[in-house]
Amino acid sequence: MDREALKNKLIEVFPNASFSENKQFIILTTTSDKITEVVETLKNNIDFRFDYMFCITGEDWLNYFIITYHLRSTHLGHELVLKAKIENREKPEIETLSHLYSTAELNEREIFEMYGIHFLHHPDLRKLLLPDEWEGFPMRKDYYDPIHIVELE
Amino acid sequence: MKIEAIDTSETKEYFINMGPQHPSTHGVLRLLLTLEGEIIKNVEPHIGYVHRAIEKMCEKSSFQQIIHLTDRLDYLSCHMNNEAVCLAVEQGLEMDVPERVKVIRTIIDELNRISSHTLWWGVMGMDMGAITSFLYGFREHEMITEIFEETCGARLTMSYNVPGGLMFDIPPNFQKMVKDFLFHFKKKLPEYDTLLSNNIIFTERTKGIGYLSKENAIAFGVTGPSARASGFACDVRKLKPYSAYHKVNFKEIIFTEGDCFARYKARIDEMWESVSIIEQLIDNIPEGDYFVKTKAVIKLPVGEYYQSVESARGEFGVYIVSDNKKNPYRVKFRSPGFANLSALNKIAQGCKIADLVAIMSTLDLVIPDIDR
Amino acid sequence: MKILSIYDFSNLTQAIHTWLSGKMSVVSTQVVEMILVGTVFLLFFAVLGLVLVYAERKVCAIIQVRLGPMRVGKWGTAQTLADFIKLVFKEPLITRDADKFLFNLAPFIIIIASFMAVAVMPFAKGLQAMDFDIGLFYISAVSSIGVTSILVAGWASNSKYSLIGAIRSGAQILSYELSAGLSLLTIVILTGSLQLSEIVESQADGWWIWKGHVSSIIAFVIFIIAGTAETNRGPFDMAEAESELTAGFHTEYSGIKFAFFFLAEYVNMFIIAAIGATVFFGGWMPLHVGNFEAFNNIMDYIPSVVWFFMKVSAIIFLMMWFRWTFPRLRIDQLLTLEWKYLLPLSLMNILLMAFLSLMGWHF
C-alpha cells in the first residue's frame, strides 16, 4: 500500500489518534493504555497486516516516556512508526506486546531494565543485560552514576 | 536385605550452563540449557557479559564519534554499521554524497560481507568438528583484511566512513588488489563445498536440523541469511536500496527449507552474489570527490531518523532521535544478532546438544552485537 | 621363504635369557625379565607419545596449510617435550565434591589398559614380550578396559560435561567393540589361529588384505572405522567434542593427569594401527610379490621392525587424515552407523569370508 492510501486508511481506522509524518515514516502516537488494542488492529486488519516489528526503542523525555515501535508489513511492504506515550513517570506501566510479536519479549526486558518501565503480563520480566544487583535505570536522562559515567566537556 | 524398587521410567531434567566460557558460544554468551538426557527442553540465553552501554555513550558523543562506537558492535560487519550511521546522519542533513563514495561503500560492504562469511564458514566447520575449515576460512578472511588495511589503515574496526563520504580515498592499487582477491576466491569457494557442503557427515548433521518456520522468523524478527533460509525475503539491499545497490544486479538468496543446511547454503550462495556485485562495480568506480565537506560540529534538525542496512548478520538499523544539539538525544541500534538470538529457544527445543552447536553457528551470533 | 637372520630379534632375546638364567634362579630370571620388558615399554611409551603428538601436529599443519610447531628445537621437534614439562609442572586441580579416589585412579586405568595391550604386539620377528595363543582375543579384551577409565573419570569429576562425555564414550566404545572384533574374526577364519605370531607367519606369501580380497578389504574398512571410534578420535570424538562439551570426560583434569589421558589417546591409536598392520598388512612381514624373486630379496633386506613401523605409521596417518578432514558425527548418528550398518555388514562379511574360504576362492 502506498503512503497516502495507508495514511487515509489509518485515519479512518483510528480517528482519535494523532498522526505526524517525516520523510520516511508515518508516525502514529497513542497512549499507553490503548497500545494492545491498537497493535492488535494493526496486526490483524487485512489492510495493514503489520506482522514484522523490527525495532523497539524506549525514550525518556524527562516528564514522560515514549516507546517507539517500528512496524513493517511483509505482505504489503509498508512501514509505520507507532509511539506509545507513558505519562506516569513515577510508576510507568504499559501492556506487553510479546504475545503478538515474539521479538518484543527480549526487547521489552531490555527497556524494563534500562528505563524501569513495567510491561504488564510479560511472561518473564527480569533484567537482561545488567547484573541482577544493579540499581537504578541507566538509560534514563536523570540517571547519575559518578563511578561508571565519566562526563566529557 | 530389602531392595527398594526404583522406578526407572521416571526421568528428571537437569540444567547445564553452556558458557560464558565455552568453545562454541563464540564469545561470552551464556546459555542455560534444560536437558533431558541429551535432548534440549529449553534454552535460556543470559547475555550482557560484554554490555558496554554503547547507546548511553552515544548520547554523550558527537555524530562523528558514534561511528567509532558502531565498529565495536558487530565487529565483523563494521563497515555496514558505520554506513548505517553515516546514512542516517546524511539523511538528517539532507546531504547527497558523490557517486564515487556510494560505489566504494558498496564494494567495501560486499568485501566485508565476504570476510564475515568466510570467517563464519571456518568457525561453523570448527563447531562441527572439522577444524581444518577454520584455517581455510581464515586464509580468505585474512586476504580481505589486508585489503582493508591497505585502504584505511585498520584491519578489523575500520571506521572508514564519515558523514559525507569516506575518511580517505582508495589507494591506487585498490582495484588490482580486489581483482586479485576475487580471482583467488572464486577458485577457493568450490573448495569450501568440497570440504564441508558435500561431506556426508556434515549434511547429515545439518539437513532437517533446527527448523525455523517463516512465521517464526518474522515474529522473532530474525533477519539476514538466517531468515532468508526460511523464506522470509528481508534483504534490505532489495527492499530499501541504499548506496549503489540499485545499480547492481544481484539475486536475493531465498530458501524455504529453514533448516541448518539452508542457512549454511544461503551464506555460501550469498558469497557468490557478493563476488558478482563487486565484479560489476570494481571497474566502474566513478571519478570525483571522496567526501562532501561537513561542518566540524554536526547538528541534526529536530526529528527522528531511521536507517537500516543489510549487515552480514541481517538488518542492522540505527534509530537517531535528535533535538538539534551536537549530541543525539537517543540512539538505538537494532542489532540483528539480538533478534536472531531470541529465536534460539524456539529453534533448539527438542534438538540434541550437538544440534544446538550447529544451530548457533548457523545463526551466526556475534556477542558484542547482541550485548551492545 | 627365508627371513634374514640378522634381523631376527629372537637371537638377542634368547641370549639375554640364557645369560640371566646362568646367573640366577628361574623365578628371579622371570622377575628380572619382566622388569626389563616393563622398563623398555615405559621408555617406548614415552617416545611414542612424544613422536605421535609431534607427528599429529605436523600432519594437521600440512593439511591446514600452515607450518605447525617451529620454534622449540629444529623444526619444532622439542615442542612436545616442552609441552610435557609444562604439563608436569601444572597444578593438578580437583573439583569440589569430586570423588577424589576415583578421580585420581582413572588416568592410571587408561594407561595400564593400553600398556597391557602392547605386551603381545609383535614388533618384529622375535620381538614380542608375550606370545599367547589367544593374542588377538587378549588385545580386544584389554584394549576395551580403557572405557572403564573414561566412565570413572566422567563420573568422578562431578561435572555434567564430563558425565555426558563419559556416557557417550561408554555407549560408543561398547558398540564399536563388536564391529572391530567381528572384522578381526573375518581374518581369523583364514589364519585359523588367534596367535599373533602365527597370524604374521601366515602372511609370508602375501598379506591378508590381498589374499582375502573383497572380504578382507571390507573387513579392513570396518576395522579402521571402528578402531577410530574406539580411540575416541575425530570424526568420532563424541566423548571430547570440544565444541559441545568443552573437553568431555577430561574437562576437569589438568597437569600430569590430563597428560595421561592425552598419552593414552595416542598409544591407543598406535595399538589400533598395530593390530590393523599385523592382521591385515602382515605385521613385520616384508612386501612379497608372487614370483619376483629379486624384488622379494631386496624387500627382505629391509629390517622387519622397519616394516612394522612403516605399516603402523601409514595407518596412523590415515587416522590423522580422517580427524583433520571430517566433521564430527552426532551421538545418535554414530550409534545408528554402528548398529544399523556396520554390525550387519560385518556379520555378512564373516559369512562371505567363510564362504570364500570354504570354496578356496582366496589366494
Closest CA to B97 of B170, B167, B163: B163
Residue-wise pLDDT for A55-76, tens only, equals 888 888 888 888 888 888 888 8
**Do the strands A93-95 and A118-120 form a parallel or antiparallel pair, or are they unpaired?**
parallel
Helices C26-63 and C9-23: angle between axes, nearest 10 degrees: 150
What would the pLDDT profile of C183-192 be if each residue is shown by its tens digit? 888 888 888 8
* Burial annotation A7-25 (CB, 10 A radius, 16+ → b, else e): beebeeebeebeeeeeebb
Q: Crossing angle for the helix pair C304-325 and C213-230, nearest 10 degrees?
A: 70
Q: Which residues contact C286 (CB under 8 A, 6 or more apart)?
A: C296, C299, C300, C302, C304, C307
Question: Residue B251's pLDDT is what?
Answer: 86
Q: Compute the distance between CA of residue C253 and CA of residue C161 in angstroms, rounded to an integer.
A: 12
B35 inside domain: no
* Residue ranges making up the domain that contains A18: 3-120
pLDDT in tens, A96-152: 888 888 888 888 888 888 888 888 888 888 888 888 888 888 888 888 877 777 776
Instruction: Flag whether B126 is in a domain.
Output: yes
Of B51, B91, B219, the CB nearest to A102: B219
Q: Which residues, including other chains, have CB under 8 Å from residue C72's CB and lie 6 or more apart?
A: C78, C79, C81, C82
Residue B196 lies in a domain: yes
Residues in B lying within 8 Å of C, measured between beta carbons: 14, 16, 22-24, 38, 125-132, 135-136, 139, 195-196, 199, 201-202, 204-205, 352-357
C-alpha cell of residue C77: 621437534
Alpha carbon distance B354, B340 (integer Å): 19
Is B234 within 8 Å of chain A by CB?
yes
Residue at A116 is within a domain:
yes
Specify which residues A94 forms β-bridges with: A119
Higher-scoring residue by pLDDT: A8, B180: B180
Pairing relationship of beta strands A18-21 and A26-31 according to DSSP bridges? antiparallel
Number of domains chain A contains: 1
| pLDDT, tens digit only, all 372 positions of chain B | 556 666 666 667 788 888 787 877 777 888 888 888 788 888 888 888 888 888 888 888 888 888 888 888 888 888 888 888 888 888 888 888 888 888 888 988 899 999 999 999 988 888 888 888 888 888 889 889 999 888 888 888 888 888 888 888 888 888 888 889 999 888 888 888 888 888 888 888 888 888 888 888 888 888 888 888 888 888 888 888 888 888 888 888 888 888 889 989 889 998 898 999 888 888 888 888 888 888 888 888 888 888 889 888 888 989 988 888 888 888 889 888 888 888 888 888 888 888 888 888 888 888 888 888
In angstroms, the separation between the Cα of residue B135 and the nearest Cα of chain C is 6
Q: Helix, strand, or coil here: B162?
A: strand
Residue C1 identity (one-letter amino acid): M
Kindly tell me whether chain C and chain A come into contact, counting contact as 3+ Cβ pairs under 8 Å. Answer: no
Q: What is the pTM of this model?
A: 0.86
Tens-digit pLDDT profile for residues C267-276:
888 888 888 8
Q: What is the ipTM of this complex?
A: 0.87
Residues of chain B found within 8 Å of residue C241, distances taken between Cβ atoms: 129, 354
Indicate whether B284 belongs to any domain.
yes
Instruction: List pLDDT tens digits, range B238-275.
Output: 888 888 888 888 888 888 888 889 989 889 998 898 99
Any chain A CB within 8 A of the CB of B342?
yes
Burial class (CB in 10 A: 0-12, 13-18, 19+), C145: middle
Q: Which three cell numbers stand for residue B243?
A: 548506496
C-alpha cell, C157:
569429576
Instruction: Tell me the one-letter amino acid at A20.
Output: S
CATH of the domain at B206: 1.10.645.10
pLDDT at B9: 66
Tell whether A39 is covered by a domain.
yes
String of b and e for A82-105 (b: at least 16 CB within 10 Å)?
bbbbbeebeebebbbbbebbbbbb
Q: What is d(CA B340, CA B60) in angstroms, rounded to the nearest whole number? A: 29
Q: CATH number, domain at A51?
A: 3.30.460.80
Please check whether residue A137 lies inside any domain of the structure. Answer: no
CB interface of C with B, residues 210-239, below 8 Å: 234-235, 237
Instruction: Identify the bridge partners of residue A66 per DSSP, sorted by sequence position.
Output: A59, A85
Length of chain A (residues): 153
Instruction: Note whether residue B235 is domain-resident.
Output: yes
- What is the C-alpha to C-alpha distance for residues A19 and A82, in angstroms, rounded to an integer? 10
Q: Which residues of A touch B330 (CB under 8 A)?
A: 57, 59-60
Contact A24 B315 (CB under 8 A): no
Of the ranges B58-67, C201-210, C247-256, the best mean pLDDT one? B58-67
Cα–Cα distance for residue pair A54/A78, rounded to 1 Å: 13
DSSP bridge pairs for A58: A67
For B119, the domain range is 51-371
Count how many residues are written for chain B: 372
Give the distance from residue A13's alpha carbon to the nearest chain B alpha carbon, in angstroms. 24
* Mutual angle of helices C304-325 and C26-63, in 10-degree steps: 40
Q: Which residue of C lies nearest to B361 if distances are taken between CA atoms?
A: C243
B305 touches chain A (CB under 8 A): yes
**What local confidence, expressed as pLDDT, does residue A152 receive?**
64
Compare CB distances from B129 to C64, C160, C327 and report the shortest one's residue.
C327
Backbone φ and ψ of B68, nearest 5°: -70, -25
**B interface test, pick of C236, C251, C330 with most B CB neighbours within 10 Å:** C330
Tell me the residue type at B255.
F
Query: C70-84 in b/e burial notation, b at 16+ Cβ within 10 A?
Result: eeeeeebebbbeebb
Does a structural domain hold residue B258? Answer: yes
- Rounded Cα distance between C156 and C252, Å, is 10
What is residue A72's predicted lDDT score, i.e. its pLDDT?
Answer: 86
- Give residue A5's pLDDT: 79
* Residue B9 within a domain: no
SS3 B288: coil
* Chain B contact present for C350, CB below 8 A: no
Max CA-CA distance within chain B?
Answer: 94
Is beta strand A93-95 parallel, antiparallel or unpaired with respect to A52-60? unpaired
- What is the spatial distance between Cα B47 and Cα A128, in angstroms, rounded to a whole number? 6
Cα separation of the two ends of chain B: 62
> Is C245 in CB contact (< 8 Å) with chain B?
yes
* Local confidence band at C237 (pLDDT 50, 70, 90 cut-offs): confident
- Burial degree of B20 (CB within 10 A; 0-12, 13-18, 19+): middle
Residues on chain A touching B219 (C-beta within 8 angstroms): 51, 101-103
Residue given cell 575449515 in the structure block: B133
Question: In this predicted model, what pLDDT tens digit does every residue of C106-155 receive, in sequence order?
Answer: 888 888 888 888 878 887 776 777 777 888 888 888 877 888 888 888 88
Which of B47, B317, B371 shows the shortest C-beta gap to A54? B317
Taking the C-alpha atoms of residue B238 and residue B235, their distance in angstroms, rounded to an integer, is 5
Q: What are the φ/ψ torsions at residue C124 (nearest 5 degrees)?
A: -160, 175
- Grid cell 547482541 is found at B370
Question: Is residue B11 included in any domain, yes or no?
Answer: no
Per-residue pLDDT tens digits for C38-47: 888 888 888 8
Residues B294-343: tens digit of each pLDDT: 888 888 888 888 888 988 888 898 998 888 888 888 888 988 888 888 88
Q: According to the model, what pLDDT value does residue C1 have?
A: 44
User: Distance between CA atoms of A143 and C85, rounded to whole angstroms?
Assistant: 54
B-chain residues near C246 (CB < 8 A): 22-23
- Whole-angstrom Cα Rg for chain A: 17
Number of domains in chain B: 1
